[in-house]
Amino acid sequence: MRTANPATEVLDVTDVVALLRDLIASKDLKGDDRLPSIRELAIQFGVKAGTVRDALRDAQGKGLVRVLHRVGAIVQCVDDSKARRSNAADLSRQFGEAVGQQDQNLFHILETRETLEMTMVARAAQRRELSELFRLRQILADMADIPLVLVCPA
């Protein structure tokens, strides 16, 4: 596994994600195994803690790890990432079939839309942060306070 020499090499987030991938492979870490702390990884890779934090977010977006508040980074189950790729392939096939059909109708379009939306909702739920949930709760509360106004045609 390579590490940065501060005098000769400066690593960016992409490099640190690659180092994280190498670390997981070299230590033969499995799903739900915990990675070292951000501080330990920063020292090991010779980068700032902020770079490691950004790299962990990027790795989480790629399905490599899960970052849990007050717990740390957990290796994402390899089967989960394979299942996600499989779902993406199924979604792509289904979308291609729906768009390529000669006899397209509203039901085909609605089915494709539902599949796309459910996939996007699932991904958003995986990447959500607690602060975003509080913000959404406040938006819903504000919407509930808006009076209903019925407009009747004259």
Model pLDDT for residues 18-72, shown as the tens digit of each residue: 999 999 988 888 888 999 999 999 999 999 999 999 899 888 877 888 888 888 8
pTM: 0.48
Local structure of residue 73 (DSSP, 8 states): E
Give the span between the Cα atoms of 37 and 49, in whole angstroms: 10
3-state DSSP call for residue 52? Answer: helix
Which among 26, 25, 49 is positioned nearest to 16, based on CA atoms? 49
pLDDT tens, position by position, 80-134: 445 455 556 666 666 666 556 555 566 667 777 777 788 788 788 777 788 888 8
Topology of domain 13-76 in CATH is Arc Repressor Mutant, subunit A (1.10.10)
- Cβ–Cβ under 8 Å, residues 119 and 91: yes
Count the neighbouring beta carbons within 10 Å of the beta carbon of residue 23. Answer: 17
pLDDT at 35: 94
pLDDT at 146: 84
- Cβ–Cβ under 8 Å, residues 101 and 84: no
| Domains of the chain by residue range | 13-76, 79-127
